[in-house]
Amino acid sequence: DQQVKQNSPSLSVQEGRISILNCDYTNSMFDYFLWYKKYPAEGPTFLISISSIKDKNEDGRFTVFLNKSAKHLSLHIVPSQPGDSAVYFCAASDDYKLSFGAGTTVTVRA
Amino acid sequence: NAGVMQNPRHLVRRRGQEARLRCSPMKGHSHVYWYRQLPEEGLKFMVYLQKENIIDESGMPKERFSAEFPKEGPSILRIQQVVRGDSAAYFCASRADGGRGNEQFFGPGTRLTVL
């Protein structure tokens, strides 16, 4: 059963514009949410996270929004840069086990 | 401070052979997690180990797969009698004692191809 879903497999955005990545989850026990970035042939690297007691967390160009009632979170990247081209995974946990979405491939066009 | 190390990075096996994947956690980390990523899918939890103990293996297939994390040396994920469906990327992650369970640092992965 897919508890974390990223329904957009790909996203193309122009350099300087905003990238918005979406993620939905089904397990109401999840209390911590993370975004990872992954380049080809590398492991996922942590980007930003948010606890279920918050609805927004910001770190530089990256902001994560959490809507608990809708079981939805999003990642905003602004402005998008060429180095942001990668696969982005949404993950959720209620303890130590991370449940991942299938990923969204972001391509930033010059 | 070296990150999580995995070897080999690429492994090719024929059906029926054994695959051994190794993971050296970050220095000072005693918690290790293994995840598997099938093509076009996200990473899926397989097993959580602490030194010499398996804490949670609920994501491991019941047959052919085993994992260990001995007192000395790397964690090993062992797949016996591999089949084509085992072809995937296997990622190891580690965390420190006292850290949140979800503050996991990932290695570069081992890409297993079964011919």
Q: Which residues contact A35 (CB under 8 A, 6 or more apart)?
A: A21, A47, A48, A49, A62, A64, A75, A88, A89, A90, A91
Burial of A46 (0-12, 13-18, 19+ CB in 10 A): middle
Per DSSP, the three-state class of A8 is coil
Yes or no, beta carbons of B102 and A41 under 8 Å apart: no
Task: Report pLDDT digits (tens) over B40-78.
Answer: 888 999 999 998 899 999 999 999 999 999 988 999 999
Residue of B90, B92, B102, B111 to mutate for A, most A C-beta atoms under 10 A: B102
Structure tokens at B59: 């994501």
**Distance, CA of A32 to CA of B76 (rounded, Å):** 28
Residue B58: other Cβ atoms inside 10 A: 9
The amino acid sitting at B87 is S
Task: List pLDDT tens digits, range A43-99.
Answer: 999 999 999 999 999 999 999 999 999 999 999 999 999 999 999 999 999 888 899
Q: Which residue has the tokens 């911590």?
A: A32
Tell the burial category of B7 from Cβ atoms under 10 Å away from its Cβ (0-12, 13-18, 19+).
Answer: middle
Tell me, what's the pLDDT at B101?
64
Q: Which of B40, B42, B102 sits opposite A89 (nearest CB)?
A: B42
Chain A residues contacting B, CB < 8 Å? 4, 6, 32, 34, 36, 41-46, 49, 89, 91, 93, 95-103
pLDDT category at B14 given cuts 50, 70, 90 is very high
Q: Which residues of B touch A43 (CB under 8 A)?
A: 4, 6, 91, 93, 106-109
Could you please report the per-residue DSSP string of A55-94?
A: SEEEETTEEEEEETTTTEEEEEESS--GGG-EEEEEEEES
Q: What is the pLDDT of residues B75-107, one digit of tens each?
A: 999 999 999 999 999 999 998 877 666 788 999
